[in-house]
Amino acid sequence: MSFAGKVWRLLVGIKDGMSLVFLLLFFMALYAILTARPSPAQVREGALLLELDGVVVEEKAEIDPLTVLLSGEPPIAEFQARDLVHAIDEAATDDRVKAIVLDLTSFLGGGQVHLQDVGEALDRARAADKPVLTYAVAYGDDAMMLASHASEVWVDPLGGAIIAGPGGSNIYFGELLENLQVNAHIYKVGEYKSAVEPYSRSDMSPKARENYQALYGALWEEWQANVKKARPQIQLDRVTQQPVEWLEQAGGDMATAAMEAGLVDKLGSKTEFGERVAEIAGADTWDDTPGKYAHTELDPWLAEIEPEEPGKKIGVVTIAGTIVDGDAGPGTAGGDRIRDILLDALDEDLAALVVRVDSPGGSVTASEEIRRGILRHKAKDIPIVVSMANVAASGGYWVSTPADRIFAEPETITGSIGIFAVIPTFENAAAEWGIHADGVRTTPLSGQPDLIGGFTPEIETILQSSIENGYRDFLTRVAESRNMTPEQVDAVGQGRVWDGGTARQIGLVDQYGGLDDAVAWAAKQAKLEEGGWHLEYLGDDVQPFDSLIRQIVAGESARSGDIFAMVARREQALLARVANDVDRLLSVSGMQAYCLACPPSPEVQARAVEPKGWLARVFAFLS
């Protein structure tokens, strides 16, 4: 009995010890969650500091805690454009905010429409006599677009600025696939549908080149016009057309060259920049380190300025990222997820529905699921308006067809009305290794599609016919939406991509304007008085573990650096595009309404170059 009692007491002790450990861990986690949440109490008099160490997006991507914790690396920071605009607009009229500071040292970019929206908010702040100061080690195109709206632009003496303009190279696998004896079966409709060209060619087709030149030319003109308007002293022609001569005249010193060309105003270290901000906003009374200044960060500021919610609801559903089948997202437009969000919102008595689109498209079936969800709201006889952000092309335009009115910006990329599918087969490669397929068929479709034995002519015809039927459906939806004939839509379709300005001229867009303009139009159509409504972002759930996860894996950012670091990131992004192209070829997917001519979004490029631990790579492979 004595021995049994001792064993029992040992087991009870182990149980009590484990209970205490778990309780301790529970309360530690609870404390971390509570303290990780931003609080309005953290708002201080001084500067509003926007440390943009990531990308500006339409919708933040969901963080997978397991993958992040296994990788040991913090996820790429994402800043919703609407949050930045709201924060800046509120700061413009708040006496506690003495200046607005943008730290762009680790800025990874954003879409042209988003950056223009943020830039306009900075202009409004300056008009309200709020100084706007920016600092970076190296300015690229996107950072320069924001910095051009500042009253003072600082750069590190060891840094500089470089403007490259839109465009660049795509990677083509046609000859490689031929050498590997992989047959890429391509089914498409659209003379300009260049999304399939990497798998069939070794260079860009003349039609695709024509489309790219027109699109990027329009975007470049808009970029230059916006930057020159915001910063008249800038010598853009000298910087972009004669970059070698421009740099040589400054003795190879990129920081000096940037200042002489009007890209920046002052050279200085981050400490010197901070001392300048302290002259305006006040010194930091909590930290007397040189270069520290009184400031409030973005998250507590947003918590302080949460908007009121008077009157009726105008719903906003966000379709951001590639459109895919399933529940993916936020940050990716999972068709089932967005359909369910729209279904749940049917009970919310919305006065109007605004569809915010920032997507290059993707799955046809997922796009149709989303379209049907929007139509259910339209059946309730409420106004439906689409607001296009940076990209609303292909499947992104498909989901826009139920709209009563479509708003876009001149920099918006839209159109790409076309459909394709790519299926690889390996009969020739298999034969090289002595692998052959044989069997018995009862019909021409028995065992088809056969990735090793090859496709029969019948299955080839059926697949192409399905694509052509899908294209006819696309034309019909656009024609009914835009009061055009299918023939008229086909003339501006064929997979061709348009900038927002041209899209308005050819009838694919109704008028220029951003999200605020679209909401105002919807409120007017719903006969709502000013102040008698508020926005309800559908499915906009807060991620409670976001801040906690970032704290756990926080470390020194590996994304800051000089011009060479910027070049390295672009090279990594190019390699990531290659991986995405290969994945698109080999992945199991249906008909695609996807725009490859659209520039890859900054958040996709940023996520692609995000460092991964070896354990995370193994986990991703196994999952």
Instruction: Name the residues annotated as catalytic.
Output: 193, 394
What's the farthest any 2 CA atoms get from each other in the chain? 94
Q: What is the DSSP string of 261-310?
A: TTS-SEE--HHHHHHHHHHHH-B-SS--STT-B-EEEHHHHHHHTPPP--
Q: Is 440 helix (H, G, I), strand (E, B) or coil?
A: coil
Nearest to 139 by CA among 154, 121, 125, 122: 154
Q: What is the DSSP string of 514-576?
A: -HHHHHHHHHHHTTPPTTSEEEEETT----TTHHHHHHHT----SS---HHHHHHHHHHHHHH
d(CA 277, CA 289): 14
Calculate the CA 23 to chain-centre distance: 40
Torsion over CA: 537, 540, 333, 208 (sign) = positive
d(CA 544, CA 533): 28
Contact by Cβ (8 Å): 183, 428: yes
Contact by Cβ (8 Å): 177, 151: no
Neighbours of 65 (CB within 10 A): 16
Contact by Cβ (8 Å): 473, 371: no
d(CA 15, CA 4): 16
Straight-line distance from the first to the last Cα atom of the chain, in angstroms, rounded to the nearest whole number: 51
> Residue type at 553?
V
Contact by Cβ (8 Å): 53, 109: no
Nearest to 462 by CA among 194, 187, 189: 187
d(CA 529, CA 276): 45
Contact by Cβ (8 Å): 359, 392: yes
Nearest to 91 by CA among 82, 100, 83: 100
Nearest to 37 by CA among 300, 302, 305, 296: 300
Contact by Cβ (8 Å): 91, 301: yes
Which residues pair with residue 359 across a beta bridge? Answer: 392
Neighbours of 206 (CB within 10 A): 8
**Edge-to-edge strand order for the sheet containing 54-57?**
77-80, 54-57, 109-110
Q: Phi first, then psi: give them for residue 232, nearest 5 degrees.
A: -60, -25
CA angle 190, 194, 195 (to 5 degrees): 105
Nearest to 505 by CA among 482, 481, 528: 482
What is the bridge-based pairing of β-strands 413-415 and 497-499? antiparallel
Contact by Cβ (8 Å): 479, 486: yes
